[in-house]
Structure 1
Amino acid sequence: MAWTSPWTLAGLLAGIAGMPFGARAHLSRRDLALVFARWPWGPGGAMTLGNVVLATGPDLDASCNTYEHRAGRCLHPQVRLGDHERAHVYQYMLLGPLFVPVYFLCGGISVRNPLERAADHYAMHGHGWWPWG
């Protein structure tokens, strides 16, 4: 977790900035993260920064569509948002401060991004959070 600390610190600062606007923090052992629920900014869903998840909803138990499903590439069942975000926590734990540059080099927030597809795979099946292995 120390390897993720630069992005975890950024997540903590963003989460704390949202608290006066309704964000609430709780530790999720299941998701290996400090979760800021009801984070007031963003289009919906969640974003992971190190071991911090910023979620616009009340918790990470919401169901969501996979990236490939939303792009019309296939029909997937909905997945638990927290399971998808936990895969990103694992990815951060492996890549540490390199996660964000690698993420954007791979396509950013897009169905083209293998990190996003791997997170969806993990959320559907409980394994396969790493895209290159």
Structure 2
Amino acid sequence: MSITGLWVARAFGIVWAVPNTAVGVLAGVVGMAFGARAEWSRRDFALVFHRWPWGPGGAITFGNSILHTGDTLEAECVTYEHRAGRTRHPRIRLGDHERAHVYQYMVLGPLFLPLYLLCGGVSVRNPFERAADRYALTGEGWWPWDGRAGQ
């Protein structure tokens, strides 16, 4: 794909994900009243709200927005399979995992959340989460059904 085609595809993906992004931005703005701070992450292709004050810790992505309870997406974390005791993986960069979800949203737009929930939600069984972990580990394979779901 040409550089121009890539930018057109990205622009379409951003627009397609706007309903989800709006949910994240609204939640992020509410969080700003309680200490969250917003930052555009060019690397992660998202508006990131750091120090988001609610949730169990970590991050959640809505379209091109990320709600993050910590100070930086450079933080390391373990994969879902590692946490579940299925395998031992090296630690991954949280931002890389969340960037995979940004890409998934840009392809699926408003269909992402229903599909994500139908696939098991926040769970090691969810192919969206396994793909995001794979992408964070290898830099490839962010699409949940690319033939490497079990890898």
Under TM normalisation by the shorter chain, which class is it? over 0.9
Which of 88, 91, 97 lines up with 1:84 in the alignment? Answer: 97
- Counterpart of 1:32 in structure 2 is 45
Counterpart residue type for residue 86 of structure 2: R
Percent identical among aligned pairs is 70
Shift of 1:54: 0.3
Q: Distance in 2 between matches of 1:78 and 1:22?
A: 28
- Counterpart of 2:54 in structure 1 is 41
Superposition map of 1:8-87 within 5 A: 8-87=21-100
Which of 112, 128, 135 lines up with 1:115 in the alignment? Answer: 128
SS at match of 1:21: coil
Q: Distance in 2 between matches of 1:99 and 1:113?
A: 13
Counterpart residue type for residue 133 of structure 2: D
Counterpart residue type for residue 25 of structure 2: L
Shift of 1:59: 1.2
Q: Distance in 2 between matches of 1:46 and 1:128?
A: 20
Q: Distance in 2 between matches of 1:37 and 1:108?
A: 23
Normalising by structure 1, we get a TM-score of 0.99
- Counterpart of 2:17 in structure 1 is 4
Q: CA offsets, 1:39-62, max 9 Å, x none? A: 000000000000000000001010
Q: Which structure has the bigger radius of gyration?
A: 2
Q: Distance in 1 between matches of 2:45 and 2:78?
A: 22
Structure 1: state its 5+ residue gaps: none
Shift of 1:20: 1.2
- Counterpart of 2:140 in structure 1 is 127
SS at match of 2:17: helix
Count of matched residue positions in the alignment of Structure 1 and Structure 2 = 133
Q: CA offsets, 1:38-90, max 9 Å, x none? A: 00000000000000000000010100000000000000001000000000000
Counterpart residue type for residue 44 of structure 2: D
Q: CA offsets, 1:90-130, max 9 Å, x none? A: 00000000000000000000000000000000000001000
SS at match of 1:44: coil
Normalising by structure 2, we get a TM-score of 0.87
Structure 2: state its 5+ residue gaps: 1-13, 147-151
